[in-house]
Each structure stands twice: as C-alpha cells, then as structure tokens.
Chain A
Amino acid sequence: MYRYDSYDQKIVDERVAQFRDQTRRYLAGELTEDEFRPLRLQNGLYIQRHAPMLRVAVPYGLLSSRQVRTLAHIARTHDKGYAHITTRQNFQFNWPELKVVPEILAELAQVEMHAIQTSGACIRNITSDPFAGVAGDEYIDPRPWCEVLRQWSTFHPEFAFLPRKFKMAVNGAHQDRAVIQCHDIGLELKRDAAGEIGFRVLVGGGLGRTPIIGEEISDFVPWQHIITYCEAVLRVYNRYGRRDNLYKARIKILVKALGIAEFKRQVEEEWVFGKNGPNTLTEAEVARVAAHFTAPTYVQLPGDDSSYVAQRAANPAFAAWAKRNVLAHKVPGYAVVVLSLKDPKRAPGDITDAQLDLAADLADAYSFGEIRTTHEQNLVLADVRQSDLFAVWEKARAAGLATPTFGLLNDMICCPGGDFCALANAKSIPIANAIQERFEDLDYLYDIGDLELNISGCMNSCGHHHVGHIGILGVDKNGSEWYQVSLGGSQGNNTSIGKVIGRSFAAAEMPDVITKIIDVYRAQRQGGERFIETVRRIGLDPFKIGVYGDAAIIERNQNA
C-alpha cells in the first residue's frame, strides 16, 4: 500500500498544527461557531446528539495493521471502546471530546492517517473497489489512480468551498463495486483500442434527497489528462452550481438543469485551457505511486488446497462461512475473506477496539498486514492462503467477526440514524437488529439468497436506501418515527433507484413487512432467480398485495 514520503508526512503534520490552532482559537472565542463549523467539518468533525463525531479518512478503504491498531487505541482511549465503518469506507468515532481531537489527529498522523476532507463542501475521500488488486474481473488496479487523485484533491485551493460536498469513486473491474454511478464524479478505468489506459467519466450521480444516476460525460479521458479534466468539471461546478438552496447545490442539479450535453460543452470548453498544462500527469509520477501497489509475494500453491476441502467437509459451520464470506482470489491457492461486522447483537458496521486489534493480528499473521474496509460496512482480508482459512475463521468467530451472511439480507447497510445523528427522522439501528433477529435462521437466509437491504434514518441517504434491493427510509410523521419501504434499487453495473411501495410503517411492523416481501419472492421466483431479478420481472404489484393486501390494488385502480 501507499507509504508516505517526507512531503506527505509534512502535509498531515502541518494539518494537525493548523487544526490545533483553529481549535484553540475557537475555544478562546476568537472564531465564532459559524466560522469554526466549516473548518471542523473539513476535518471530519460533526457535532452530534451526544458529542462530536470524528470521521477519519481511509483512502480507498486501505489500511495497514499498524493503522488498525491505532484506530483501536483511539476507540479505547478517546471513545467508548468502538468505532463505526461508514458507507464511504471511512471510520467514525462517536464520542471524542472536542478538545482532544487535535491529540487524536496527532496520533493518526503518526501512522500516516488524517481526517482531511472527510466532510464539508469539498472533494471528499475517494472510494474504490474493496477487492482491488485481487479480483479476477479486474482490468486495471484502481488504487494508484485513487492515490494520485487523493494527493491532487488534498487542500485544493480552488475547490475548498464548493457549493456542496463532492464525492468521487474509481472502479477498474468488470463489476462495479464502488457505486460509481451514484457519485458526483464516477471513474471507470478502461483501455482504448490501442491499449492505452484512460477513464470513462460519469458525472452528476448522487443519493440524498434527490437520487440521480450519473451520466456519461466522456467515454474516454486518457490517463495523463484525468486531473485537468476533473479540474474542468469542478471549475464549472464551482462557478455555476447553485448556492441559494442547500438541497439544490449538488452537481447533479446543475447537470440536470443544463442537460448533460450542455454541461459537457462547458466542461470541454474549460478543459481546453487546462489540458496539457502542468497538472498533466507524468509517467514517472504514476510509476512512483503504482510501485506502492505491487502484488505481495505470493507463494505458488495448488488451486484447491486439500486441507481446506477436508475442513469444509468436516465442519458445516465452517463450510457455511466459507460459502458466503470467502471469495475467489485471482492467485491460485489464495482467497479473499470478508470479516463481517453484521453480528445481530451489534449495530451494523460497528467494531470494538478488541475486534480491531484482532483484525490487525489476523492481517499480520495471514494477509500481508493489510486490511480493507468496504462500503457495505465490513472488513476484508484480501490475501489469505486457503490452508489458513480455518484458523482465520476460528479466531474471527471467537471475536464475533465471522457472521456467515455476506451478501445476504442480514448483511445490511445501515446509517447511525436517530441513536446518534442529529439529522435523523428515525432510528435505524434497532430496525436493522430487529430484522436480523427475524432472519437469524441461516437455512432460511441462505434460501433467500443474495439480497441487499439498506437503511437510512432520513432523506440524506447515508445508508444508501435508494439503491437497496429493499430500501428502508426513516420518515417523520407528526413527531413519531415511521419507515417507508422501497423495492428494486440496486448498485453496481445495473444501478437503479428503488420505488416506494406505499404507506409507511411503525417500527414494530417492520420485521413482518420484510417477511411478507420475502414470502412473495419465494412464491414467485423462477429457477435460480435472485430477489432483485424477481422484482424486475414481476414488478411491484405482487409485493404491494403481499404487504398491504388487495386493498393496495383497489386503491391504485381508484387513483388511476
């Protein structure tokens, strides 16, 4: 993974000093609340229900075991013994005190970490494929490009006060695992006919209160020009994006208002000036960064380890975990392991200090000392030998990190919601846990198969409910908490926005509602059809009838 040189280190050290001084001036009354807010946000610091919340950047989801131990230490000393993994691959601490935040940042800087631009109206942490470098369907490793873009976007002076936040994601494989269609800029690495590397560029995607799927603005920007191209997009956005209404300030609104053709015209007109300028990437720089992402020293192994085969045959619990949480690796004899953070007894995505330490130990012992975070709020050990899987499983299981439900209904994405978040309409964690409890029978869960269930506590959509096969959204009705259900959303190559099925439900009804939806699927599915495929084939009506009874159809006919 990328290691800082003296320049990178200096920038984060200077940031710590800068923020320490800003905090001092704020506490001394030299900076007003309004003046301090954007400064702390650009350092990932929100003021929430109970305390400030600190969001720490995990660039493109990559961590060393040393960094993970530092996060564990912070959770232990400055928080209540746990942290949360976000849908943009970052870490969040829910309870740090404002005056110790500079200390936390200093501790992070010692392990080449920071909280720069994890919030605020600026270019945010760039996210990517958690299986980068090990997936069989990868064309081009996105990590060096993410790092190049990270450096370019860090303290970009022109784009520190955009109309609104700006999120970018990069994917380099056949399957999109970085949700590039729902980002302000989504980049897909590809090769042109001559074999040259470049990017397909999508723009104007986003979730939030107006979910929009990004549109293609260029089908190929050669790699040398990606920074100047992004700068052109950002300059047009910075100059012309709306600033009069917070809800209409994302780039997606500008792109919709102008139309993609006109937006593209403006960007290309702007690009003429920057293209071939100093920000044009050089082969030397790309090579320097890419040298940090070479493959680890794999040993030559047979494709199917015999002990692994035997252990699965002998131990059904291990076999179940291996079936769900162990994924194919491009190198024979190796596997990708998902360490699940979806233990029904915990909030989805939460991890304790002890679990973090254990994950770091596992990474050191079995996976070249590296760990990844996923936007589905799990951890990944990317390079485990098949012959080590049993040992990894035993240790992970003892620590509550081996819930064998990766990709299933219980592996839900869930925002912190009303338990932590000041913007929430409703709690989301208890809903997630109630549904997990309802579906705890593994045979039942396996029979239902691949299913993405996403929960957000309000329209801001931190929990990606729009792109869940089943989406749950917390809504406020006369001061009480209700939940709206949508179906048919999906992320990845066929990104789609789910449609609401009808009136919302009280919290206590939610497990039954999900059961009814699943019953419809099980009754209607054909062959090996996955849930989302059935929804796409039969539409929403059968599900509405399943949930609301025939009344749903009568009501619709009356409205027709």
Chain B
Amino acid sequence: MPKLIKNGLVIDDSAEILVLDETQAPEALNLPEGPVFVPLAVWQAHKGVLSGRPGLGVWLDSHESVDDLASDLDSLQAIALNFPKFTDGRAYSGAALLRSRYGFKGEIRAIGDVLRDQFFFMQRCGFDAIQPKAGRYSDALLADALASLQDFSSPYQAAIDQPEPLFRRAARVA
C-alpha cells in the first residue's frame, strides 16, 4: 500500500489521486471506491453531489488557486497540493494561505515531486501530510527521511507550525 507521512510518522494510505486525461471531462463523474482526491475541476462540477462524501479530498495543481476553494472548506476533509516539480514553490504559499487566511483545519497533503529535502519547509507552511511519489523512496529510505522534518530546531521566522518568530519566542540577549 502507498505510504504517507502524517504528523511525522510513516503510515499506509489508500487514498487515490484522481487524474483526468484529455479524454475525460470533469463533468463525467466516475469515482473509485474509498478515499479519493478529485481535481479542482471535478469538485467544481459536482460540488453538490460530492459534498460530505466520506474520505473526499480535492487536489490542486500548482497554477490553481486555493482562493477558489475558500467557500468550500467546510465540506472538505482534505486538500492536496501538487508539486509538479519540487522547484515549483507555489504550493508553499497555498498551504500557508489555507491554514492562516482560510483557517482550514483538515489535512493538507503535499503530492507530486515531493522530496525529503523539502519536508521541513512543507511542515512549516502547514502541510501535515507528505506523500512522496510511489517508488521514490524505499521503505527504509522513507524511514530515514523522517529525520529531515527535524533539520532545524529553532527557525527564525514565524510560520504556520510556529506562529511566533524567534524574537518573540526567546529571550535573546545582545
């Protein structure tokens, strides 16, 4: 079963990420059983039916805006943000906005080109679920990779995981 890092632990995860190919219109609704992340377009076409479906999440690609989900957040348990390439950093802002501006409390999952050397930043921006591509890490390497969540013990700036900057958290002496 695919693996997922959730709140700092490796767990099994059966959620499916539904990807439409060119031949599939978002209007045609054909969902697998069980937990699934649907593309934004599918969600927008079928909000009424899908709202409240157990295990339902929506995934956004990096060019899609979390602002478009702002009024739907109460009906969603999870949102996945895709990193088409790990160097495409838009999802960091997306996750931070979901947590701070929109107060989203559900799961925010990093999917796509997700690598251990970015885990720390992801966690800081509000991702509580991190899912490297299937096959990218062996089970042993994924277990090792958890160490990257702890790369830095006291970061300087405020972020989602640590809403106070160091200068407010610590009594630093000149």
| Interfacial residues, chain A to chain B (CB-CB below 8 A) | 5, 7, 10-11, 14-15, 18, 22, 30-31, 35, 38-39, 121, 151-152, 154-162, 227, 235, 238-239, 243, 273, 277-279, 281-282, 284-285, 287-289, 291-292
Distance in Å from the Cβ of B118 to the closest Cβ of chain A? 8
Q: A162 to chain B: which residues have CB within 8 Å? A: 89
Known: A35-B86, A238-B90. Is A154-B156 also a contact (CB below 8 A)?
Answer: yes
Residue B104, interface by CB 8 Å: no
- A160-B173 contact in complex given A7-B166, A278-B163, A278-B168, C-beta closer than 8 Å: no
B157 at the interface (CB under 8 A from A): yes
The answer for the CA separation of A162 and B62 in the assembled complex, in Å, is: 13
Nearest to B62 among chain A residues (CB) is A243
Chain B: minimal CB distance from A160 (Å): 5
The answer to whether B152 touches A7 (Cβ under 8 A) is: no
Enumerate chain B residues within 8 angstroms of A281, measured Cβ to Cβ.
167
When C-beta atoms are compared, the residue in chain B nearest to A120 turns out to be B87
Per a CB cutoff under 8 Å, which of B92, B117, B153, B174 touches A157?
B92
Residues of chain B within 8 A of A7, CB atoms compared: 154, 156, 166, 170, 172
A279 touches B158 (CB 8 A): yes
Report if A151-B100 is in contact (Cβ < 8 Å); known contacts: A35-B86, A35-B115, A288-B172: no
Instruction: Establish whether residues B93 and A238, one from each chain, have CB atoms under 8 Å apart when the complex forms.
Output: yes
B164 sits at the interface (CB 8 A):
yes
A10, B158: Cβ atoms under 8 Å? no
CB <8 Å contact, B157 and A156: yes
B89 interface neighbour in A31, A160, A279, Cβ under 8 Å: A160
B28 interface contact, C-beta 8 A: no
Given the interface pairs A10-B154, A14-B153, A243-B88, the reply to whether A235 lies near B93 with Cβ below 8 Å is yes
Check: B27 CB closer than 8 A to any chain A CB: no
Contacts of B172 in A (CB 8 A): 5, 7, 285, 288
Q: Give 5 A-B pairs besides A158-B92, A161-B88 with Cβ atoms closer than 8 angstroms.
A: A11-B154, A35-B117, A156-B157, A239-B65, A287-B174
Q: Chain B: residues with CB nearer than 8 A to chain A?
A: 65, 86-90, 92-94, 96, 100-101, 115, 117-118, 120-122, 124-125, 141, 151-159, 163-168, 170, 172-174
Q: Which of A157, A227, A235, A288 contacts B120 (CB 8 A)?
A: A157
Task: Check if A278 sits within 8 Å of B117, measured CB to CB.
Answer: no
Most buried by A among B65, B87, B141: B87
Summed over the interface, the residue pairs from A and B with CB atoms below 8 Å come to a total of 111
Determine which of B101, B121, B158 lies in contact with A278 in the assembled complex, contact meaning CB atoms within 8 Å.
B158
Q: Please name the 3 residue pairs, one residue from A and one from B, whose CB atoms are nearest each other, closest first.
A: A161-B89, A157-B124, A285-B167
> Contacts A158-B92, A158-B125 given: A151-B156 contact, CB under 8 Å?
yes
Q: Which of A15, A39, A158 contacts B93 (CB 8 A)?
A: A158
Within the assembled complex, what's the spacing in Å between the Cα atoms of A356 and B117?
35
Provide the residues of chain B in CB contact with A155, threshold 8 Å: 121, 152, 155-156
What is the CA–CA distance of A5 and B155 in the complex, to the nearest angstrom?
A: 13
Check if A152 sits within 8 Å of B156, measured CB to CB: yes
Minimum C-beta distance from B71 to chain A (A): 17
Which of chain B's residues have a CB closer than 8 A to the CB of A151?
Answer: 156-157, 166-167
Check B115 against A278 for contact (C-beta < 8 Å).
no
Q: With A7-B172, A11-B152, A278-B164 as known contacts, state yes or no: A158 contacts B90, CB within 8 Å.
A: no
How far apart are A362's CB and chain B's nearest CB, in angstroms? 28
- Chain A residue nearest to B89 (CB atoms) is A161
Q: Using CB atoms, name the residue of chain B closest to A231.
A: B157
26 sampled A-B residue pairs with Cβ under 8 A: A5-B173, A7-B166, A14-B153, A18-B151, A35-B117, A39-B117, A155-B121, A155-B152, A155-B155, A155-B156, A157-B125, A157-B155, A158-B89, A158-B92, A159-B92, A160-B118, A161-B92, A161-B118, A238-B93, A239-B93, A273-B100, A278-B168, A282-B167, A285-B167, A285-B172, A288-B172
Q: How far is the CA of A25 from the CA of B124 in the complex (A)?
A: 23
Q: Give Cα A158 to B126, complex, Å.
A: 10
